[in-house]
Structure 1
C-alpha cells in the first residue's frame, strides 16, 4: 500500500480523473481489499472496462501509476528530482497500446476493438535488441509507409491531462487507420484555437498484430529529445489548408439546400455572379471534393436519415472515397462580441479566425442574422466608405463591411455596422458563404488575434458587384 496514500490524495484533488480511480482500485485489489477496489472501478467507468478487456502488461500500469504519484508528490514537495523521475517512468516509454481511438476529435473511422499483445519496453532497450522485434518490423513495413492522416485536438503544452486522453483512446473502438498524426489546438476556456502553426504533438502508427506505437513530439511532456517533425509539419500545412476549403464548401452546400430545397448539381451553382454568389470563388480542394461530398449528402438524404449539418445545430460527418475526411463537423458561423470588439469565425467549439472590428456601441444591434447580399465594392468603388467588401445582415440596414477610416477599428464610431480592416474583410468575404449565421452579443469570446500570415483566398471568381445599387448601410 506504499502508493495508495498518494493515489487516494490524488483522486480527492482530481475526482473526475477516471485513470486515477482505476489505478487506486488496482492497488486495493492487489492488497485484498476487494470492496474498496470495486468502488474505485465503478468510479473509473469506461476506463476500467477498456483496460480490463485489453491485455496490458504490468509494467505499463506502473508507468501510468507513476505519473499520478508524481503529480501528488509535486504538490507536497515541489521537488525537481522527483518530477524528472516520476514523469520519466511514463513519458520516456515508447508506448505500445492496443490500436484504438476515441470518439470526437480523436476519431476518424472505427471498427470493434481487438485485444492484442503489448510491448512497453523503453526505446533504448528496443534499439539494443532489434532482433527480438524483427518480426514486428517486417510485418509492419508497408503500414509504416502509409501516408499519415491528420487530425487536431485540444492540448495543453507539457502533456497535462494526457492520461484522460489515453483513457478515452483505449475506451474507443479500434481504428482502421495505420498512421495518424495529431496536431495541437490551444485551449482558451471552452474554445479551441485553430491555426496554421499547430504543432505536431503525437504520431500514432499501427504496427500490425494488434500493436500500435505512440510517439510524443512534446519535449516538455516526454522529457526527451523527440524526432524532428519537419516532414510531418509540411504535410500538416497542406492538410490545414484543405480542411478550411472543405469547411467553406460544405457550409455553402448546406445553406444552398436550406434555401433552394435541392442540392447544388455542380460548383457552378454556387459560384454565379451576384446575387447568386454563394461562394466568392473556388480552388483545387473544392473542385476535388465537390462530387464525393454531394454523393454523400444525397445518399444520406435518400436513406431517410436526417440531413447532416443543418444550418442551426447539425453536424457533418463525411468520409470520402479516397479516405479524406471533413474535420469541421458543423457549418461555419460568425460571432461578434460587442464588449471586446471581436469578430470570430467558428465551427462548433473551434475558432478559425478572430478579428478586431469597429462597432457602434449601443447602436450596434444584438441578435441573430444571416448573410444575404455579398457584394464587392458596395459603394461602387474600392475606396468608398464601405471599403472593398460588404455582407448584409438579413433584411436590415446593417452589414459587415470594410472602411476608409481604418483608425476606427477597435472603437465605437459606426452607426451600428461592423467595420473591418481591408485584409480582414476580404478574407472573411471568401470564408463565409451566403446564408452564414451571424450572432451579435456581449461577452464570451477570448480577446485574441487569430489570423494567418497567408490569408484564405479563392480563385475563379465571378462578378460580385451590384451595378444596380449603391448601398447605404448604417456605416
Structure 2
C-alpha cells in the first residue's frame, strides 16, 4: 500500500492523532498538493508548529472543501509507492526541529499542561521556594537545563505511526513535566502483551530528543535500525544511564505505593522513611535503599503539593535521587497491585497497564478464593524458620486464612495442590516481599493476566532491613 494511502486510512481511524496528520501533510507537500497539505497541517495543530518552527497558515480558501475530498480519497489506490517508516522517520531524524515555545502533543504521562506562552524549558505550574510562598507573583524564571538524560518508557511494537507519535508525545511531556529542562530525553521500549506493557531490566533505547544548550533547538533521533532503516548512533551510553534509571523507578514505585497505603490507613502522609520501615507489624516496606532515602523528602513534598493545590496553596519543589532529572515524577504513577490468574497460574505485579513482574505460582484450584483483597500483614519466617511449609516469607490476604507465601514443596509450583493459598518459589516470594508494601491490593480471578514469566537477572532487594518476624503468633494459613 502506498504511503499516502496508509496515512489517510490511519487518520480516518485515528482522527485525533496529530502526528499522523502532520506526516500526511508532509507527504502531500512532497507531491505538490499544497492545499491538502495545509488542511493536514491545520489538523496537526501544535505538532506542526513544534516541528516547523512557525505558525500554521490559516487562509479560508485552504479550509474549504478539503476535508470531504480528503476522506473520499481514503479508499483510492495511491499511484506512488513509498514505505511509511522511511518517510516518517527520515523526516523526523533529518530535519525536524522545533522552537522551545512550542507545545507538545497530548500524552497520558503529562502531569499538567504547560501554561500558555511557556517555553519547554519552564516548569509547568512551577512552585516558588517555601520561604517565598507568601511573596508577590510574577512570571516564573526559565528553568536551567539538566545535563543528564531523563527517561520515560513506552509500548514499542505494531503500528509505526502510533508508536512514533506516542514516543514524541512522551518525550515532549517528559521535558515539560520536569522542573529543569533536560538536554537529553530518551524513550525506552516495552514489549506488548495484549493490552499490557511489559517492564524489563533491559529495555532498549528507541527514541531520543536532544536539546542544544547553545540555541535551544531540539532534534529527534531514532535508535532502532529496523524502524528508521538507517544506521543510528550507538546508544551504549544512554543504555548505561537507563540501567540505573530502571531500578530507581522500581524503588520509587515501592515508596510511592507505601506512602499511599500508609495515608489510606493513617489519614496522613508518613513524616519520615522510618514511619514506613518500622519493625513488624509496622513494616509497610521491607527495608530501604539509597533511592528511597534520597527520594522520600522530594516525593513527600510533591504529595503535599498535590494536596495543597486543591486549596490553592503550593509548597516547594524538590530534587529527586541522583541521576534523575530534578523534579522528575516517578514513572509508576499508580500504586503497585498484585494480580493472580488462577487459570494461568501466574502472579503479576502491575502498575496501571504495565506488568512490572510476573511469576509462576502454585494454587489450590477451586479452593483458591477469587475476589479482591489487600496485603494486611507481612512476616518473615512465618514458621519460625526459612524452610518451613510457608517458606521464608508470608503475606496475608485481608482478614482471612489465605496468604501468599513460600513453600517447601517447590514441585507444586504451576499446579493446584494447595488448600487455597498462593505458593511461590523462594527467590520469587522474597523479591515480591520487598517489592509490594503492606496495603497492596490483590485481585484473584481467571483470564485476567497473560501467561508469561517476567523477572530480572538481578532481583529487586532492599537493604537496611528491620525485624519483620512475629514470634508471638503461630500461623495456620491454608497451605
Question: What TM-score comes out, normalization by structure 2 length?
Answer: 0.76
With 13-22 and 413-422 compared, the bigger mean Cα shift is at: 13-22
Out of 45, 48, 51, the position equivalent to 1:48 is: 45
Q: Per-residue displacement from partner, 1:454-474 (whole Å, max 9, x unpaired)?
A: 101111111111101121111
- Of 227, 231, 244, the residue aligned with 2:250 is 244
1:184 partner SS: strand
SS in 2 for 1:343: strand
Q: CA RMSD in A?
A: 3.8
Matched, 1:393 2:394: no
| Alignment: residue pair count | 417
Deviation string, structure 1 residues 101-122 (Cα, Å, up to 9, x no partner)? 4444664787457799xxxxxx
Partner secondary structure for residue 464 of structure 1: coil
Q: 1:470 aligns with which of 459, 470, 474?
A: 474
- For residue 93 of structure 1, give the secondary structure of its aligned residue in structure 2: helix
| 2:218 corresponds to 1:212 | yes
Name the CA shift for 1:422/1:262 in 2 (closer, same or farther; >3 Å): same
The 5 Å alignment of 1:108-119 reads 111-112=114-115
- Summarize the Cα distance change of 1:10–1:153 in structure 2 as closer, same or farther, 3 Å threshold: closer
Q: State the partner residue of 2:187.
A: 182
The yes-or-no answer on 1:371 pairing with 2:375 is yes
Secondary structure at the aligned position of 1:146 is classed as strand
2:170/2:187 contact within 8 Å kept: no
Q: Deviation of residue 323 (structure 1)?
A: 2.9
Q: Distance in 1 between the 2:97 and 2:223 partners?
A: 16
In the other structure, the counterpart of 1:456 is 460
Tell me what 1:126 maps to: none
Render the CA deviation track for 1:400-444: whole Å, top value 9, x for unaligned.
Answer: 000111111111111111110000000000011111110101113
Unmatched tracts of structure 2, length 5 or more:
55-73, 120-143, 321-325
Indicate the residue corresponding to 1:127 in structure 2: none
Work out whether residues 22 and 41 of structure 1, in 8 Å CA contact, stay in contact via their aligned partners in 2: yes
User: How many Å separate the matches in 2 of 1:178 and 1:149?
Assistant: 8
Are residues 1:335 and 2:336 paired? no
**1:97 match:** 98
Deviation per residue, 1:144-197 (Å, 9 max, x gap): x81111111111279453443367479979733322111111122211111110
Map of 1:153 onto structure 2: 154
Alignment-derived partner of residue 437 in structure 1: 441
Change (3 A) 1:92 1:421: same
Say which SS state the counterpart of residue 181 (structure 1) adopts.
strand
The one of 354, 359, 363 equivalent to 2:358 is: 354
Residues 409 and 87 of structure 1: CA distance in aligned 2, closer, same or farther (over 3 Å): same
- Residue 299 and residue 223 in structure 1: after superposition, are their counterparts in 2 closer, same or farther (change >3 A)? closer
* CA-to-aligned-CA distance 1:59-78 (integer Å, 9 cap, x gap): xxxxxxxxxxxxx99x999x
